[in-house]
Amino acid sequence: MLYTLWVIPLAMSRRALTWERLGELQAFVAAHPDRLNEISTHFAHGTTLLYAGRLDEARTAFERALARWETGLHGALARVHGDDHGVFSIVYLMWLELRAGRLDASRQHGQRLLELVDTFKDPLAEAMVLAFMALAAHDVGDEATCQAHADRAIAVSDAQGFYFWGALGHICRGWTRMRAGDHANGLAEIVGGLGFFDLIAQKLPLTYWKGYLVEACLLSGDTARGLAAVEEALAMSAENADSFNEAELLRLQGELFAAAAPPGGGVPDAAIDRLERAGHVARGGGASFLELRAATSLARAMAKRRDGQSARATLGDVLGRIDGGVDTAHVCAARDVVAGAQG
């Protein structure tokens, strides 16, 4: 019951109430130890911290959950809570490590998840894992893998009636369509997926998923709609439980300001300001991968002003803190920017 009382305000992204209910859940489980409840409480703690952008603390909480978990508990956890919070902890660790710039560790968690899905033969766990695998592929810029996982997530969800996980798959697949130049259908699929959040009155983590809509507007050249969407998402980030994506939203806002500038007008100061703020916010939260993306965008913008040396030096420093993922799109792009400066 207390877990449910925590997850409801989390889904509604009510920051203060989520933390209050988490404290009540932790106090109860401390007074009444139970292995399944301990796993779920550590998971709840890690989830709350992750969406607050506190990555190091979240990692510790998820690792505590996994220290109490084993595969034999899958069925019991799924019966009690609907989800196996051991598997879900690995899912969030995969995403957390990606954002922290530990890309090889993130890949290892992803591989473990696919192996667990194959072992459990549980359609709900499969749909959830595939949706997050598609999300992770989006974040590293891997369009083919994103589409493959999204297609599978949608297929499983459609067959089983898992509409939430299906909606996430559609958002991811819409992004791949946008990247392929199919702007009309890609945007429609993203908007359709986001509409499910409205249908069930869920707000978390819209500060992340709305980024797909913002990126779609940037790709299609609809800067006015993109700026309106990113303003809305940043306002949500300032108030809601899921403040963790502020850096990426600021980066996208900076890219939109640059794209909206009149031809021949150069990169506006507002764009540079947002890109610098994006890097600062990411660095403060230990989100090195988001910092890499912000630094790459900033270095490109400053190069257009013929003043990119310092920004490229900063990008090189951030690139040095990324662990693995040498073949991923955004890491390759960052290397190319640095190499261009050196050449």
The mean per-residue pLDDT over the stretch 36-55 comes to 98
Amino acid at residue number 57: E
pLDDT digits (tens, 9 = 90+) for 265-293: 899 999 999 999 999 999 999 999 999 99
Three-state secondary structure call for residue 97:
helix
Q: Tokens representing 297?
A: 């965008």
The mean per-residue pLDDT over the stretch 166-194 comes to 98
Question: How many helices, marked H, and strands, marked E, lie in the chain?
Answer: 18, 0
Strand partners, 102: 323
Distance CA 227, CA 252 (A): 9
Eight-state DSSP code of residue 323? B
Q: pLDDT class for 62, splitting at 50, 70, 90?
A: very high
Q: Which domains does the chain have, with CATH numbers?
A: 1-121 (1.25.40.10)
Element holding 123 (H helix, E strand): helix 123-139
Compute the Cα dihedral for 58, 28, 39, 10 and give only its sign. Answer: negative
pLDDT digits (tens, 9 = 90+) for 109-119: 999 999 999 99
The predicted pLDDT at position 1 comes to 74
The predicted pLDDT at position 307 comes to 83
Distance CA 279, CA 294 (A): 5
The mean per-residue pLDDT over the stretch 130-144 comes to 98
Q: pLDDT class for 141, splitting at 50, 70, 90?
A: very high
Q: Are 250 and 231 in contact (CB under 8 A)?
A: no
Q: Would you say residue 145 has pLDDT above 60?
A: yes
Q: Would you say residue 340 has pLDDT above 90?
A: no
The predicted pLDDT at position 241 comes to 98
The predicted pLDDT at position 342 comes to 41
For the entire predicted model, the pTM comes to 0.97
Distance CA 169, CA 134 (A): 7
Q: Say how many C-beta atoms besides its own lie within 10 A of residue 220's C-beta.
A: 16
Rg of the Cα trace of the chain?
A: 20
Q: Would you say residue 60 has pLDDT above 70?
A: yes
The mean per-residue pLDDT over the stretch 116-123 comes to 97
* Cα 49 off chain centre by: 14
User: Which position has the higher pLDDT, 306 or 34?
Assistant: 34
Q: Are 92 and 104 in contact (CB under 8 A)?
A: no
Q: pLDDT class for 308, splitting at 50, 70, 90?
A: confident
Residue with tokens 């990169």: 267
Distance CA 225, CA 263 (A): 19
Cβ neighbours of residue 243 closer than 8 Å, sequence gap 6 or more: 15, 51, 52, 53, 207, 237
Average pLDDT, rounded, for the chain = 96
Query: Percent of the chain at pLDDT above 90?
Result: 95
The predicted pLDDT at position 343 comes to 35
Distance CA 327, CA 186 (A): 26
- Closest by CA to 314, choosing from 281, 340, 286, 279, is 279
The CA-based angle 205-159-3, given to 5 degrees, is: 40
Q: Are 251 and 275 in contact (CB under 8 A)?
A: yes
Q: Say how many C-beta atoms besides its own lie within 10 A of residue 261's C-beta.
A: 15
- Closest by CA to 85, choosing from 121, 48, 153, 37, is 37
Q: Would you say residue 13 has pLDDT above 90?
A: yes
Between the CA of residue 236 and those of 55, 229, 231, 274, what are the distances in Å?
Answer: 20, 11, 9, 17
Q: Is 28 exposed, middle or buried (0-12, 13-18, 19+ CB in 10 A)?
A: middle
Strand partners, 323: 102
